[in-house]
Structure 1
Amino acid sequence: MLNLKNKVVFKGDRTLWYVVIGLMLASLIVVYSSTGSLAFRVRGGNTSYYLIKQLFLMFGCMVVILTLQSFHYKYFLSFAKIVLGMSLIFLLWAKFAGTTLNDAGRWVTIPGIGFTFQPSEMAKLGIIMYCARAIAFEQTEECCSNNVLWRMTLVVPVLFLIFMENFSTSALLGGVCLVMLFVGRLYWKTYAKLIGVIVGLLILMLAVVFIVPEKHLKSAGRLLTVKSRIEHFVNPSETDSDDSYQSDQAKIAVAKGGLMGLGPGNSVQRNFLPHPYSDFIFAIIVEEYGLVGAGIVMLLYLIILYRVGVIVRRCTRMFPAILVAGLGLCIVFQALINMGVCVGLFPVTGQPLPLVSMGGTSLLFTSASFGMILSVSHTFSEEGEREEKEKLKMAAQGINEEEENEEN
């Protein structure tokens, strides 16, 4: 990749770097298009306001990726517990003293600097890093020990707090953790029992949601929102809600797109969709660029999935392999959920399109995930192995020089 004075700037998998840059460019184009009318109304005619803001965020994302790709994956192993603990603290902060947004206290504002972020995005990294650590530590010659489930109980309170504020994010993380356990070779009987317990809990939750009166659900986190979204998804013609309006407008945008789309900047539904620049940005992509543009975006995420598989196969250690698998699957699953919501395959979830939707917290922590993946990729690439050999050689030479000095 790019070299400055014989020093590699872009390390790791080249194809993955091309995809990251491609998604960033797509983000700038689509965010500018989807926020033009909003910026005109809110920012006094400055239609480039959100484009400039997104450009600065992309610069910050690039800094995060370039920084983390330079760290050895052993640092991620060491800090896994710390990140998980910080996630728990911030989630509790958001629950009891957080900033309310869209009727959900999911945001934390740092006093003094006024920086606001979603702790659930940090929790994604913390949970995946810790689960990869737990799975790696419980490996035997034949499979992963059942003790890993006891280690992973530390994740439960974090997932529960996320569930109380955002069911879709908790479900996404739960699914990723299950896949990580499968890749980590958890004994199949234990895995089957775990799946059974989770399915039973989901059935119990749905039973509670649809049996308990709505007045009692208002004090139970987001259960009432979960109920309304499921009802709309199952019987869209019999419900009337904000979710119904959003979903209908997204479907209209998809229907207008056709094969080639209406062209860049020609979206009509951006004036009707409540969040055309975040939750429903894929609908704007389909409307302006048609099935061709949407297919290219989907292909980029599928390439991420493929390259993650390649990196996992190259790993000779369990922790980096499970870490990359978890981070990559979280990004791809989230993208598929966002796309599925826009075309009516899933209920409305509020999940942004990774590295494309406008935002700050999601972009920065998604960039952190890519930085970790590229770090592992670089470590187990030919280039990384040469660097390790050179470091060992230099260390050996230093020891020999010290021994010679002592003898003299």
Structure 2
Amino acid sequence: MVNRILDNTKGDRWIWLIVIMLSAISLLAVYSSTGTLAFKRGVGVESILMKHLAMVVGGIALMYFSHKVDYRYYAGISKLLMIITIPLLLYTLVFGAHINNASRWIPIPGTGLSFQTSDLAKLALITYLARTLSRKQENIKNVKESFAPIMGAVCVVFALIAWANMSTGLMLFGVSILLLIMGRISIKQIGITCLAGAVLLAGIMFLGPRRHMYVTRINTFMHPEKVDPDKAFQANHAKIAIANGGILGRGPGNSVERNYLPESYSDEIYAIIVEEYGLIGGITLVGIYLFLLYRCIKIVTRAPKAFGALLAAGLSFSLTIQAFANMAVAVGLGPVTGVPLPLVSMGGTSILFTSVAFGIILSVSRDIEEPKKVVVGEIREVEMAV
């Protein structure tokens, strides 16, 4: 059975190994950091771990099925995804569940899970941009046919996400700009898009429902010595956790700050990993994400079609930028955000959508490998005939 699954597993083998490694790290870190959460819920830590394990296994299954689908099919559903995504984002802002003073989630009836619509929006926008940029190359300078729909999609999705989740919106906007550069959009048009994004950002910062929180977080990051210690509680305890880790760490399960850090199993899980596994563990995790980016860039440079290259680039940039943003917050290089560490932080649907993104990247990688196998097979047939 295992051999049969391995024979049907295609794509970059290193990315499969990276996913397995990150999943194993996630299980260890989540098990260690959910003691306080289990106490609050009145359940055992093992119960939370088993739910997380189910999500991890479900994510790997989704990744397997996603990588078996020819990546070109995702171009066909990109418009449909955008049509679904924008109303969902609007619905979330108005009727979504309010968690941590933000309306980002839609409860899934009967499951006890919450669906974060920004996860779907990331997939939808990246696939839509990859499809549009690859198909409009001949008229890429045409404002009405090419630039207007691209800029409209980027700005609308950015505004709807940033209204409740500024960090995710900014990262997705940055990935979109990178795709526009790769898609040969002119510097002038990219500048117009950035200007429109800056105007939207300023409007959300000064008029949005979370404007006071954004100002507080920025002030806390820029001038930590001048703010109330309670407002810098999360950032301070993340730094304490990292300082306690030293070179080798306290050892698995020996974190102290997991009892103080809010969201220690999600937003601040990197701080817990460094506390338990030390500088060596922290650098190892950074190295894994850097190696992931390297493997994805190799896929991008070897992809025979523009759509595949843009799709793999957008998804890989999105995953790695999110990872480094999470780790930067933990070590004090950025203001506190609500960005999880991909495939490591405990989560529900976010793990599933991240796994689908990996599956699509592997699908592009599979398309690169299969032509080689066909050529090798033809050469062998010729040799046998001779």
TM-score norm. by structure 2 comes to 0.90
Is structure 2 residue 155 aligned with structure 1 residue 156? yes
Is structure 2 residue 120 aligned with structure 1 residue 122? yes
Cα distance, 1:93 vs. partner? 1.6
Cα distance, 1:40 vs. partner? 4.2
Could you say which residue in structure 1 is the equivalent of 2:4? Answer: 4
Cα distance, 1:195 vs. partner? 3.8
Cα distance, 1:197 vs. partner? 5.0
State whether residues 139 and 145 of structure 1, in contact with CA within 8 Å, keep that contact through their aligned partners in structure 2. Answer: no
The alignment partner of 2:104 has SS state of strand
The code of the aligned residue for 2:14 comes to T
State whether residues 253 and 284 of structure 1, in contact with CA within 8 Å, keep that contact through their aligned partners in structure 2. Answer: yes
The alignment partner of 2:217 has SS state of helix
State whether residues 135 and 144 of structure 1, in contact with CA within 8 Å, keep that contact through their aligned partners in structure 2. Answer: no
Q: Structure 1 residues 276, 115: CA separation in 2 closer, same or farther (over 3 Å shift)?
A: closer
Q: Structure 1 residues 78, 342: CA separation in 2 closer, same or farther (over 3 Å shift)?
A: same
Is structure 2 residue 249 aligned with structure 1 residue 261? yes
The code of the aligned residue for 1:4 comes to R
The alignment partner of 1:278 has SS state of coil
The alignment partner of 2:98 has SS state of strand
CA distance in 2, matches of 1:186, 1:41: 51
State whether residues 144 and 184 of structure 1, in contact with CA within 8 Å, keep that contact through their aligned partners in structure 2. Answer: no
Could you say which residue in structure 2 is the equivalent of 1:47? Answer: 45
The code of the aligned residue for 1:25 comes to A
Is structure 2 residue 173 aligned with structure 1 residue 174? yes
- What fraction of aligned residue pairs are identical, expressed as a percent? 41
The alignment partner of 1:316 has SS state of coil
Deviations along 1:237-290, one digit per CA (max 9) or x if unpaired, are 222276511000001001111111111111000000011100000000110011
The alignment partner of 1:107 has SS state of strand
2:219 pairs with one of 222, 228, 231: 231
Q: Report which of the two structures shows the higher radius of gyration computed on alpha carbons.
A: 1
Could you say which residue in structure 2 is the equivalent of 1:80? Answer: 78
CA distance in 1, matches of 2:193, 2:94: 31
Greater CA drift, 238-247 or 117-126:
238-247
Q: Structure 1 residues 144, 61: CA separation in 2 closer, same or farther (over 3 Å shift)?
A: farther
Could you say which residue in structure 2 is the equivalent of 1:188? Answer: 187
State whether residues 13 and 378 of structure 1, in contact with CA within 8 Å, keep that contact through their aligned partners in structure 2. Answer: yes
Q: Structure 1 residues 237, 140: CA separation in 2 closer, same or farther (over 3 Å shift)?
A: same
Could you say which residue in structure 1 is the equivalent of 2:368? Answer: 380
CA distance in 2, matches of 1:114, 1:47: 18
Q: What aligned pairs does 1:2-41 form with structure 2 within 5 A after superposition?
A: 3-4=3-4, 8-41=7-40
Could you say which residue in structure 1 is the equivalent of 2:263? Answer: 275
CA distance in 2, matches of 1:144, 1:263: 56
CA distance in 2, matches of 1:91, 1:194: 21
1:140 pairs with one of 128, 138, 141: 138
Structure 2 residue ranges without an equivalent (≥5): 378-386
CA distance in 1, matches of 2:236, 2:249: 18
Could you say which residue in structure 2 is the equivalent of 1:395? Answer: none
Q: Structure 1 residues 237, 17: CA separation in 2 closer, same or farther (over 3 Å shift)?
A: same
Could you say which residue in structure 2 is the equivalent of 1:288? Answer: 276
Q: Structure 1 residues 163, 201: CA separation in 2 closer, same or farther (over 3 Å shift)?
A: closer
1:323 pairs with one of 308, 311, 321: 311
Greater CA drift, 225-234 or 190-199:
190-199
CA RMSD of aligned residues (A): 2.3
The alignment partner of 1:79 has SS state of helix
The alignment partner of 2:105 has SS state of strand
Deviations along 1:344-398, one digit per CA (max 9) or x if unpaired, are 00000110000000011211110010000000100111x35546999xxxxxxxx
State whether residues 27 and 358 of structure 1, in contact with CA within 8 Å, keep that contact through their aligned partners in structure 2. Answer: yes
The alignment partner of 1:140 has SS state of helix
Could you say which residue in structure 1 is the equivalent of 2:87? Answer: 89
CA distance in 2, matches of 1:242, 1:351: 21
Could you say which residue in structure 2 is the equivalent of 1:369? Answer: 357
CA distance in 1, matches of 2:285, 2:99: 29
Could you say which residue in structure 2 is the equivalent of 1:71? Answer: 69
Greater CA drift, 113-122 or 156-165:
113-122
Cα distance, 1:41 vs. partner? 5.0
CA distance in 2, matches of 1:113, 1:26: 26
CA distance in 2, matches of 1:380, 1:282: 34
State whether residues 262 and 290 of structure 1, in contact with CA within 8 Å, keep that contact through their aligned partners in structure 2. Answer: yes
CA distance in 2, matches of 1:75, 1:242: 50
Structure 1 residue ranges without an equivalent (≥5): 210-216, 391-408
The code of the aligned residue for 1:51 comes to L
State whether residues 114 and 348 of structure 2, in contact with CA within 8 Å, keep that contact through their aligned partners in structure 1. Answer: no
CA distance in 2, matches of 1:309, 1:37: 40
Q: Structure 1 residues 200, 109: CA separation in 2 closer, same or farther (over 3 Å shift)?
A: closer
CA distance in 1, matches of 2:111, 2:286: 37
Cα distance, 1:109 vs. partner? 1.9
State whether residues 308 and 328 of structure 1, in contact with CA within 8 Å, keep that contact through their aligned partners in structure 2. Answer: yes
CA distance in 2, matches of 1:296, 1:98: 37
TM-score norm. by structure 1 comes to 0.86
